[in-house]
Copies of this chain bind each other. A is one copy, B any other.
Amino acid sequence: MMFRDKVVAEYKKIQDDICEGLTIADGKGRFEEEIWTRAGGGGGRTRVIQHGNVIEKGGVNFSAVHGKLPEAVKKAFKVDSEDFFATGVSIVIHPSNPFVPIIHMNIRYFEMDEQTRWFGGGIDLTPHYVIDTDARYFHHYLKNICDEYDASFYPKFKRQADDYFFIKHREETRGVGGIFYDRLKPDHTGLDWDQIFNFSCAVGNSFLPIYTELIDRNRNTEFTEVEQEWQYQRRSRYAEFNLVYDSGTKFGLETNGRIESILMSLPPMAKWTYNHKPAENSLEAATLTKLIKGVDWV
């Protein structure tokens, strides 16, 4: 079995497991699947869940595409290869309860030739209300996974997530971060390709236990209209990040990707109220003070 085929098989299984687990956790919503093929080669399985008990809108997408490398990508990646292969699983979940956090996970493998290939990915949490115990639980879980592979991974990937998931024009992070890595390969890591692949799968497989725990902790928390309003305001920041800064989104839009799959990350409903400011000493104001880089959650 070729390496890339192993990756595809495992990524598909991760998508299946996550969809099954989220369906059980939600208890009402069902994933609707669309199988699509790409004119240039390959395709994917887009799975979207809407109007669930817990999940207002969520997508768990798998794709494996190949073909001639578009000129735009050659430039962006600074490579000179003609062919490419890329596979990945991408998830964004927008819950209906403002105390359940938004979550995003992505694992991906990119290959041009034996020399030019790498893994990338990450997982990050965007609470509408930052709950310290949840943020600590989240980061501890990620640190444990990272530490099994390389003690340098967590601090490095945590810092990269802080830098990446940053809404520059608001001078605030998208949420409480997580881990973010790119172009991960044996060089400098002391790991071989199989070990890096295993790390990628460990990140993918961490999604379900992490998120179902965060759902269970918060799904029954009662909320007020003010709190729901705050959730809509926070979601508009999420939309700003994804449309203005997110590389995956920009890349998809520029290369005529499958628009609805790319933009499934956008919130089901968002509000931009002019100059919306939380009340002093409120829970909302407390959250804003925590949307900064460099918080040590472990």
Task: Using CB atoms and an 8 Å cutoff, list the residues of chain A in contact with chain B.
Answer: 48, 50, 57, 59, 168-170, 232, 236, 239-240, 243-244, 253, 256, 259-260, 262-264, 266-275
A239 touching B243 by the CB < 8 A rule? yes
In the complex, A271 Cα to B266 Cα: how many Å?
9
Which of A57, A168, A266 has the most chain B CB atoms closer than 10 A to its own CB? A266
Enumerate chain B residues within 8 angstroms of A262, measured Cβ to Cβ: 169
CB-based nearest B residue for A51: B273
Q: Could you list some 24 contacts between A and B, CB below 8 A?
A: A50-B274, A57-B272, A57-B274, A168-B253, A169-B253, A169-B256, A169-B259, A170-B259, A236-B266, A239-B239, A239-B270, A243-B244, A244-B244, A244-B253, A260-B274, A260-B275, A263-B272, A266-B272, A267-B272, A268-B271, A269-B269, A269-B272, A270-B270, A270-B271
In the complex, A260 Cα to B240 Cα: how many Å?
13
B273 touching A270 by the CB < 8 A rule? no
In the complex, A103 Cα to B36 Cα: how many Å?
37
Instruction: State the Cβ distance, A32 to closest chain B Cβ, in Å.
Output: 8
B170 touching A269 by the CB < 8 A rule? no
Additional A-B contacts beyond A50-B274, A269-B271 (9; CB < 8 A)? A48-B274, A57-B272, A57-B273, A57-B274, A168-B253, A169-B256, A169-B262, A239-B270, A260-B275
CB-based nearest B residue for A169: B253
B272 touching A268 by the CB < 8 A rule? yes
Instruction: State the Cβ distance, A237 to closest chain B Cβ, in Å.
Output: 10
Enumerate chain B residues within 8 angstroms of A272, measured Cβ to Cβ: 57, 239, 263, 266-270
Enumerate chain B residues within 8 angstroms of A268, measured Cβ to Cβ: 271-273
